[in-house]
A and B are shown apart, each in its own frame.
Chain A
Amino acid sequence: MTGGVAAEPAAVGRRAPWLNTKILVAGVVLALAVGFLIYNSMQGTAASYFVTVGELQAQADKVDGTRVRVGGDVVPGSIQMGGPGQPIRFQVTDGTHTMDVVYTEVVPDIFSDHVQVVVEGTFHKGQEFQADTLLTKCPSRFEAAQPTDS
């Protein structure tokens, strides 16, 4: 901002309006506080790695015990529903690598073979992946498939 002179001189005198020290200090304090809030929240459990199954297995040692989000497709035929009240087991694949997942919460509406999912939970090396959230993505478009006959 250029240090222009106020068009109508105010009681405090001819200073650039934004150079009010108290306001400036308050602004800087606020900005720092917000910056700290953002930084602090990023350090906690709020941030998690978003990886594919292959990337997860490649970095297994590094991310052991941290929260991760894993994206992939549900392996066809791998879903074991387990009946009401029991966990669901299924496999997620990125095409080459596959991972076992256990999930106990509410099953999302669009959950079936081939569907793209994002599972989130704490990763422990060498164990089944215990997911606490399971997000599904609409298969392709937000509408039904195109007619196949022509």
Chain B
Amino acid sequence: MAQLGSGALVVALALAVYGIVAGVLGARRRIPELVESSIRAVWGVTALILVAVVTLLTAFLTHDFRLEYVYGRSSRDMPIYYVAAAFYGGQEGSLLYWSMIAGILSSLAVYLHRKRDRALIPYVAATVLSVETFLLFMLTVIASPFTLLPMRPDDGQGLNPLLRDVGMILHPPFLLAGFASFTVPFGFAMAAMITGRLGADWIRAIRRWSLVAWGILGVGLLFGAWWAYHVLGWGGYWGWDPVENVALLPWLTGTAFIHSVIVQERRGMLKVWNMALIVATFALSVFGTFTVRSGLISSVHSFALSPIGPWFLGYLAVVVLVSVGLLIYRLPGLQSDRAIESVVSRESGFLLNNLLFTAMAFATFWGTVFPLVTELVRETKLTVGPPFYRQVNGPLLFVMMLLMGVGPLLAWRRSNTGLLLRNLLWPAVAGVASGIVMAVLSGHLIAAASLAVTVFAVGTIVLEYVRGARVRRRTTRESYALAVAMLVRRNGRRYGGYIVHLAVALMAVGIIGSTFFQVERQFTLQPGQSGTIGPYTLTYQRLDNRVNAQGQAVVAVVDIAKNGEPRGTVESKRFFYRNYENQPTAEMGIKTIGIDDIYIVLDQWDENGTASLRAYINPMVSWIWVGGAVYVLGMVTVLWPAPMPARRPVTRPVREAALSEA
């Protein structure tokens, strides 16, 4: 079995190297057969990686503990879904998964674009194959998942307790897939720079691919936040840990890119900027993948030093050097077609949006690598904690929300300031009103101001929908509901984008609520005793000890009442898994009542059943998860193919098709 898997990877490596040579030679010497051959190499490499993936998955499911990787991460008593999830429980499997996702998406991309973007394709193939070559080299030489043990143990070690959770089944595959999917946009960007075809083609080709990658990465981040919230037990969902930060970085630059790319499509501006952003996003994805594993930056989750760190760092250096070199070489071809005509225009709105996102990305990056920098410069290591990120990113997010409110109403080229202000009147009134109500009710000015800009942003989105629906109704006489539905269907990109904005606003409300109004109390209770936190009474019933095949769980059972009315029971758990007894893990007791999450952590206990519990009231956190669902809805709407006339079988002039797509 193991030979099949490692054999497939070795052949894939050879094929990938061949494919690069074939692609480049084929394009330079204009030999279509060679180009075709390099496209097939992409498919072949992907197929071989899939063989390795299936082999490893089979090894897990059949409990083939001869494989060191399987032995170290699974055991016979684990439920089947955790056995399967153990696949990416370590770096070798994660890398294999990364290369699989990159392979599948690249194969799809070269298949779909091989006719229309004929000139770019050989270099796209060569670039994605160069990424695969690096990964396959790692997988065959440095960190093979198919290493055999000298004997066959009867049972495995079991998966790390922290990974035995639904959130952990979902979080890593989405996050890694998000990182990996930026390979395709990177491939097109490199192809555009190598060939010098820097026009609209490559931008149009990668728009959807970068949206897909950005969407998947966002979902991965949300699953990570959700997992942290119900497992890690410090009452929050985002801790500004280096590992979280490096995953956020490509998402931030990716967000900047999907906005600024619109400016290039519509107005032919910001070309250098877009190229730099997409390269940076890919580089940060690679950085994100390896930082976790390299021990370069110390983190709670750091996985100890591993041999792959220096290789990744070297690869990252090559990626950055080659892309920056190409970018400088191609600068003359990347001049803007037009100039920004007015400060009050959609162009400058997008520009400001980009500056804000890159500023956030820079601040987060700076905070993350700061210990390294200070150690080099001052010999002492200085670290920054969550307060730093909050103080820097908080005001930036505030301005961003404001801009999110104004942006959709800005016109291209030049906005009529008077008209703009008139249109912004009602959203602004709504925002200020809700801010005042909030300030009176809570007395918290920062929270009130944050809420005000969020409501303002939602207001302009609603306004956009209403205005769009009205315009449709004037000609079609549809009902309002149908008009809105048709609006979204016809122009999914724009109105789906607004749905994503709405999701951001929902999450903002959740973040405002839980950041400014969290209540925390510590109780030491005997069974039967109660404590109060806010309007809630928590009655500690008993401590259960439950044993199952995987290990045992200590469970505190707590009844919750609000203003004396019983509202149900929660269980806060600590798990002790076999083989990992000194590494307990937990599942928080969380109950959502109205807008509040009652969040209970079982801290310590003794034989008499006395337990110390830490309780939090986390207002509005559930809105973050609702926002996550809306984010996915918005993504799907944006990506859903529009019913375009250009899709009819009749061949229409290219220019017209291109225009209707814009």
Contact = CB atoms under 8 A, between A and B. Distances in A.
Contacts of A142: 89-90, 160, 303-304
Contact of A48 (B268, B340, B385): B385
Contacts of A107: 603-604
A110 B231 CA distance: 13
B592 interface: no
A140 B388 contact: no
Nearest to B603: A106
A42 B389 CA distance: 10
A40 B161 CA distance: 40
Contact of B339 (A15, A41, A55, A69): A15
Interface stretch (A2-10, A94-102, A122-130): A2-10
B149 interface: yes
B304 A47 contact: no
Nearest to B340: A20
A35 to B, nearest CB: 9
Given A7-B337, A144-B158, A49 B384 contact: no
Given A10-B341, A49-B381, A26 B352 contact: yes
Contact of B583 (A5, A45, A49, A109): A109
B388 A47 contact: yes
Contact of B382 (A38, A41, A47, A110): A47
Contact of A44 (B268, B332, B340, B391): B391
A118 B524 CA distance: 26
Contacts of B396: 34, 37
A12 B339 contact: yes
Contacts of A136: 300
A10 B524 CA distance: 72
B234 to A, nearest CB: 7
Query: Size range of the interface on A?
Result: 35 or more
B338 A140 contact: no
A135 B300 contact: yes
B524 A22 contact: no
B343 A23 contact: yes
**Which residue, B268, B338, B341, has most C-beta atoms of chain A within 10 A?**
B338
A143 interface: yes
B614 A106 contact: yes
A51 B396 CA distance: 31
A145 B581 CA distance: 13
Given A30-B355, A34-B363, A49-B381, A17 B340 contact: yes
Contacts of B337: 6-8
Contacts of A49: 380-383
B580 interface: yes
B649 interface: no
B551 interface: no
Contact of A2 (B71, B331, B339): B331
A51 B380 contact: yes
Contacts, number: 185
B160 to A, nearest CB: 6
A103 to B, nearest CB: 12
Given A6-B336, A17-B339, A23-B348, A1 B272 contact: yes
B387 A46 contact: yes
A124 B588 CA distance: 34
A133 to B, nearest CB: 8
Contacts of A40: 391
Contacts of A77: none
A112 interface: yes
Contact of B371 (A10, A50, A106, A109): A50
B320 interface: no
B150 interface: yes
Nearest to A140: B304
Given A6-B339, A11-B341, A137-B300, A47 B391 contact: no
Contacts of A51: 380-381
Main secondary structure of the interface of A (DSSP, over half): loop
Interface stretch (B50-58, B189-197, B605-613): B605-613
A45 B340 contact: no
A86 to B, nearest CB: 8
Interface in A20-78: 20, 22-23, 26-27, 30-31, 34, 37-38, 40-42, 44-51, 55, 69, 71
Nearest to B611: A84
Contact of B304 (A30, A110, A138, A150): A138
Contacts of A45: 387
Interface string B303-338: 110000000000000000000000000011001111
Contacts of A50: 298, 371, 380-383
A142 B269 CA distance: 47
B530 interface: no
A37 B394 CA distance: 10
A22 B355 CA distance: 15
B205 interface: no
B524 A84 contact: yes
Given A41-B392, A48-B383, A48-B385, A20 B339 contact: yes
Interface in B337-364: 337-341, 343, 348, 351-352, 355-356, 359, 362-363
A42 B268 CA distance: 39
Nearest to A39: B392
A109 B586 contact: yes
A41 B134 CA distance: 39
B157 A143 contact: yes
A38 B351 contact: no
B377 interface: no
Given A6-B338, A10-B339, A138 B303 contact: yes
A144 B332 contact: no
B72 interface: yes
A8 B585 CA distance: 62
Contacts of B610: 83-84
A69 B370 CA distance: 14
Nearest to B158: A144
A135 B299 CA distance: 9
Nearest to B585: A109
A30 B601 CA distance: 42
B604 A83 contact: yes
22 contacts: A2-B335, A12-B341, A34-B359, A46-B387, A47-B383, A49-B381, A51-B381, A71-B298, A83-B604, A83-B606, A84-B524, A84-B603, A84-B610, A107-B604, A109-B233, A138-B160, A138-B301, A138-B303, A138-B304, A142-B303, A147-B149, A150-B150
Interface of B: 71-73, 89-90, 149-151, 153, 157-158, 160-162, 233-234, 268-269, 272, 298, 300-304, 331-332, 335-341, 343, 348, 351-352, 355-356, 359, 362-363, 366, 370-371, 380-385, 387-388, 391-392, 395-396, 522-524, 574, 579-580, 582-586, 601, 603-606, 610-612, 614
Among all A-B residue pairs, the 8 with the closest Cβ atoms: A85-B524, A46-B388, A84-B612, A144-B157, A50-B381, A17-B339, A41-B391, A17-B336
Given A84-B605, A85-B604, A144-B72, 6 more contacts: A20-B339, A38-B392, A50-B381, A81-B604, A84-B611, A110-B584
Interface of A: 1-2, 4-8, 10-12, 15-18, 20, 22-23, 26-27, 30-31, 34, 37-38, 40-42, 44-51, 55, 69, 71, 81, 83-85, 106-107, 109-110, 112, 118, 120, 135-147, 150
